[in-house]
Amino acid sequence: MMSKKEVMLETVLDVINNIKKTGFTRDSVEQDFYLGGDLGVDSKEMLEIWYELEQRLNIRVQDAEKRDLYTLDDVINLLESKLVPVAATL
C-alpha cells in the first residue's frame, strides 16, 4: 500500500508526464529532485502543471505560495497542506 506522500508523488508525476510527454516514475525520481534542473520543467510548463494539479485535486494555491518551490518534495508538501483530511470534514 502506498503512503499519502507516494500517492501525491504519483499524481504530480502523472501531471508532469502529461504536459511534458515524459515517462517519470516513482522509481526513476527522488523527491529531492529539482523541477527545473532534474526534471527539465520550465516556467511556462510549471504554470500548466499548477493549473492541472489544482483542477485534479480541487484545491486553490495562491501564486505567492508557489514561489520558492524548487523540488518535487516542496510541491508535494504544499499540496498535502491544502488537502483537508476526511475526518476533519465530519
Of the pLDDT bands very low, low, confident and very high (cuts 50, 70, 90), residue 84 is: confident
**pLDDT tens digits, residue range 18-77?**
999 999 999 999 999 999 999 999 999 999 999 999 999 999 999 999 999 999 999 999
Position 16 confidence tier, pLDDT thresholds 50, 70, 90: very high
Domain 4-83 bears CATH identifier 1.10.1200.10:
yes
Give the residue extent of every domain in the chain: 4-83
| 44-74 core/surface letters (b: 16 or more CB in 10 A; e: else) | ebbeebbebbeeebeeebeeeeeeebebbeb
